[in-house]
């Protein structure tokens, strides 16, 4: 019997439908005797607790004594759910076991990533399956994509390394999280309410650290006063006005802060500048600039966008994106860390653009689609840069958007418009740079005029950028109408919001000073597209972070944790 092993019930239903087994539903799986589709419920297995390896941890008053730590398993043990405490998970594991015993071949049909591979293969190894295996690869849950995946499966050995990587991640989490949590808690009992723990985690702790660090920077911030100079100019022939801000000479800047702070020097410079009644153009350049559309959405980019636009948490964005993928079949796999697409999928563009038009069926989308060219290939189409998953894009599933909830519609709209942008003209503008010399100092000015909105028309928040400046030429003189000083103060950093925190987790190397460690982590970030939302939710549930509007703020418990860490 060929057995398809899926990650969740809805996934199994879609695979069973593609195989023609939808009407062969049993209690916990689909089967016609020759083929079967069975599902897990996420991870049906869990790693054994520290007490399994060190029984003394559970005995009497010893508890989590640091003398018993660290616990480093020599032979790792996985466990099934307790049939008395979690009968549903245990029963489903038994369904998997029964079918694996009958299997002549297993098809891994879980999500196409490290976690999905681990969910399937850990069950195969736990229940002793050693026969042949295949890997089903797909990014969309619509019937056409699944049938295509059934005809292009890989040998299971080709993706086995994803399982090894998944085990490495799980064991690293266990070793760090279990040992550090036990050590911190047992060493700091006096500061804790009875029954509470100081929880640490390989990703969780850096998240708490970043939020605490940011708030400490805000609390300890001492503003630095500094000065700027502005000038207003007029082109005498046409009376056109423009302004510039002084490029301050190095000798006026404070050595420690790099700011212009000395009041006496401010006074001296102002008096000098006011003697200049005319300014001379020392630089004038006008260049037409062209801007390509942004890449497709990865999950973290989509989460950041939804946080800014709709106030969604990372978890909510993932839940909505998952529903668009799994339930409505309108978008591709959401847990992607990539904004690129395989060029082989470029041929689907006309069909997808037509489906978008059909699904929305409104005048606004019709106008946008009228400005697309399905033959135009943006930088998003780059096979070499596609990782385990391509960008999140619309599918060819036909469904009116009126069937979606408001949140689903908002996210689907973002994904569709980002896809449309790839087939729209570049944004074009004219950039002007001017430098005006007054006495001995330079006042730079920049101008911008939009020529063609191009792909920016697909984003209602994008506006034409127009800051007009007169046409000038090098050596020309202009009138100086006013020069004034402006006193400002340095400002503290802003409290974290979820979109900014997500960006820092993706770019965690910014906070790493050790060059060797920075090279190791490269562009990987901390956490994954699939897990960051859960980590953020977890630190909130554990009482380390609280929300105030869009702000993420540390609790007293978070400050205490960072102090002892």
- CB neighbours of residue 488 within 10 Å: 12
369 touches 419 (CB < 8 A): no
Q: Are the beta carbons of 348 and 140 closer than 8 angstroms?
A: no
**Integer angstrom CA distances of residue 517 from 14, 240, 266, 531:** 43, 55, 45, 22
Start-to-end Cα distance in the chain: 53
Query: How confident is residue 465, by pLDDT bands cut at 50, 70 and 90?
Result: confident
Q: How far apart are CA 428 and CA 19, in angstroms?
A: 49
Q: Over pLDDT 70: what percentage of the chain?
A: 99
Q: Above 90 in pLDDT, residue 259?
A: yes
Beta-carbon-side half-sphere exposure of residue 496 (alpha carbons within 13 Å): 28
Cα dihedral 493, 497, 503, 509, rounded to 10, equals: 50
User: Residue 352 and residue 296: Cα distance in Å, rounded?
Assistant: 14
Count the neighbouring beta carbons within 10 Å of the beta carbon of residue 152: 9
Measure the CA–CA gap between 128 and 102, rounded to whole angstroms. Answer: 12
The Cα–Cα gap between 184 and 565 comes to 8
Nearest to 365 by CA among 353, 374, 373: 353
Cis peptide before 70 (omega within 30 of 0): yes
Using CA atoms of 241, 245, 251, 253 in order, give the dihedral in degrees to the nearest 10. 160
Mean pLDDT of 529-555: 93
Radius of gyration of the chain (CA): 30
- Tell me what percent of the chain is helix, strand and coil, each rounded to the nearest 5: 40, 20, 35
| C-alpha span between 251 and 230 (Å, rounded) | 19
8 bridge partner residues: none
- Report pLDDT for 153: 95
- State the Cα–Cα distance between residues 452 and 474, nearest whole angstrom: 28
pLDDT band with cut points at 50, 70 and 90 for residue 548:
very high
pLDDT bucket at 222, cuts 50 / 70 / 90: very high
What pTM value is reported for the model? 0.84
Cα 95 from chain centre: 36
Q: Please say if the pLDDT value at position 221 is more than 90.
A: yes
Q: Of 331, 415, 420, give the one whose Cα is nearest residue 378.
A: 420
Give the mean pLDDT of the chain. Answer: 93
What percent of the chain shows pLDDT beyond 90?
84
Give the distance from CA 181 to its chain's centroid: 27
Judge whether 126 counts as a catalytic residue: no
Three-state secondary structure of 194-215: CCCCCCCCCCHHHHHHHHHHHH
What is the pLDDT, as a whole number, of residue 61? 45
With H, G, I as helix, E, B as strand and everything else as coil, classify residue 122. helix
pLDDT of residue 151: 92
* Beta-carbon count within 10 A of 525 CB: 20
* 523 pLDDT tier (thresholds 50, 70, 90): confident
- CA separation for the pair 24, 367 (Å, rounded): 46
Question: Strands, DSSP E only, in 269-417?
Answer: 278-291
| Cβ atoms of 366 and 382 closer than 8 Å | no
> For 213-240, what is the mean pLDDT?
96
- Residue 247 is given by DSSP the state B
> Which phi and psi (to 5°) does residue 327 adopt?
-85, -50
The encoded tokens of residue 69 equal: 């730590």
Cα within 13 Å of Cα(262), Cβ side:
13
Strand order in the sheet with 29-31: 29-31, 35-39, 2-6, 105-108, 133-135, 154-155
Average pLDDT over residues 283-304: 96
> Are the C-beta atoms of 394 and 142 separated by less than 8 Å?
no
Q: Which tens digit of pLDDT belongs to each residue from 325-344? A: 999 999 999 999 899 999 98
Candidates 74, 75, 69; CA nearest to 57 is 69
Model confidence over 348-395: pLDDT tens digits?
999 999 999 999 987 778 889 999 999 999 999 999 999 878 999 999
Token duo for residue 161: 């390394």
Q: 163, 227, 325, 333: which is the annotated catalytic residue?
A: 333
- Residue 384 and residue 112: Cα distance in Å, rounded? 18
Q: How far apart are CA 429 and CA 90, in angstroms?
A: 62
143 pLDDT higher than 90 = no
Quote the tokens at residue 122. 């850990």
Tokens in use for 61? Answer: 């008053």
The SS3 of residue 88 is helix
| H or E stretch at 51 | helix 50-53
**Residue 334 DSSP label:** S
**Is there a contact between 16 and 136 (Cβ–Cβ < 8 Å)?**
no
Supply the pLDDT for residue 57. Answer: 84
pLDDT digits (tens, 9 = 90+) for 58-82: 764 456 888 889 999 999 999 999 9
Residue 220 tokens read as 């300890």
Per-residue pLDDT reduced to its tens digit, 305-319: 999 999 999 999 999
Residues 39, 9: contact at Cβ < 8 Å? yes
Q: How far apart are CA 117 and CA 168, in angstroms?
A: 13
Helix (H, G, I), strand (E, B) or coil at 125: helix
pLDDT at position 400 over 80: yes
553-559 contacts at long range (C-beta below 8 A, 24 or more positions apart): 553/211, 553/215, 553/495, 554/208, 554/211, 554/212, 554/215, 558/208, 558/211, 558/212, 559/212
């Amino acid at each position: 019997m060929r057995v398809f092993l899926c990650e969740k019930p809805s996934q199994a239903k879609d695979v069973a439908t593609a195989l023609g087994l939808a009407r062969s539903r049993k209690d916990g799986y689909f089967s016609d005797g020759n083929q079967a589709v069975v599902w897990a419920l996420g991870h049906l297995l869990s790693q054994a607790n520290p007490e399994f390896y060190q029984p003394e941890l559970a005995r009497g008053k010893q508890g989590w004594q640091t003398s018993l730590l660290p616990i480093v398993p020599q032979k790792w043990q996985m466990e099934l759910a307790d049939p008395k405490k979690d009968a549903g998970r245990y029963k489903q594991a038994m369904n998997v076991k029964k079918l694996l015993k009958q299997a002549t071949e297993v098809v891994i049909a879980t999500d196409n990533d490290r976690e999905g591979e681990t969910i399937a293969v850990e069950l195969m190894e736990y229940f002793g399956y050693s026969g042949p295996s295949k890997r089903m690869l797909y990014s969309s849950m619509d019937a056409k994509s699944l049938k295509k995946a059934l005809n292009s499966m890989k040998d299971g050995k080709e993706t086995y390394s994803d399982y090894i990587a998944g085990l490495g991640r799980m064991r690293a989490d266990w070793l760090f999280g279990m040992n550090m949590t036990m050590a911190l808690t047992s060493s700091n009992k006096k500061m804790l309410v009875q029954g509470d723990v100081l929880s640490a985690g390989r990703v969780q702790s850096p998240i708490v650290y970043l939020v605490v660090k940011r708030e400490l920077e805000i609390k300890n911030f001492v503003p630095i006063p500094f000065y700027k100079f502005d000038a207003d100019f007029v082109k005498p022939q046409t009376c056109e006005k423009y302004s510039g801000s002084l490029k301050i000479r190095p000798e006026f800047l404070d050595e420690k802060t790099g700011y212009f702070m000395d009041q006496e020097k401010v006074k001296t410079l102002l008096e000098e500048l006011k003697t200049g009644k005319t300014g001379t153009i020392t630089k004038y350049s006008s260049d037409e600039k062209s801007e390509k559309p942004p890449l497709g959405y990865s999950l973290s980019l989509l989460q950041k966008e939804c946080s800014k636009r709709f106030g969604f948490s990372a978890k909510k964005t993932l839940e909505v994106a998952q529903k668009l993928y799994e339930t409505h079949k309108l978008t591709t796999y959401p847990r992607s860390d990539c904004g690129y697409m395989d060029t082989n999928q470029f041929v689907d563009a006309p069909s997808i653009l037509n489906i978008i038009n059909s699904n929305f069926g409104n005048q606004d989308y019709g106008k946008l689609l009228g400005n697309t060219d399905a033959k135009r290939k943006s930088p998003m189409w780059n096979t070499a840069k596609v990782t385990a998953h391509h960008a999140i894009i619309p599918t060819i599933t036909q469904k009116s958007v009126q069937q979606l909830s408001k949140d689903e519609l908002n996210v689907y709209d973002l994904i569709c418009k980002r896809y449309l942008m790839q087939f729209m003209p570049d944004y074009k503008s004219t950039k002007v740079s001017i430098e005006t010399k007054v006495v001995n100092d330079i006042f730079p000015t920049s101008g911008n005029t939009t020529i063609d909105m191009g792909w920016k028309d697909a984003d209602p928040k994008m506006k034409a950028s127009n800051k007009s400046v007169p046409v000038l030429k090098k050596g020309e003189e202009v009138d100086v109408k006013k020069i004034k000083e402006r006193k400002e103060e340095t400002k503290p950093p802003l409290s974290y919001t979820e979109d900014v925190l997500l960006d820092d987790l993706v770019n965690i190397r910014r906070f790493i000073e050790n060059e060797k460690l920075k090279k190791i982590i490269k562009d990987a970030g901390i956490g994954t597209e699939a897990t960051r939302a859960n980590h953020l939710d977890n630190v909130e549930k554990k009482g380390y972070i609280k929300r105030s509007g869009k702000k993420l703020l540390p609790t007293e418990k978070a400050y205490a944790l960072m102090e002892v860490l």
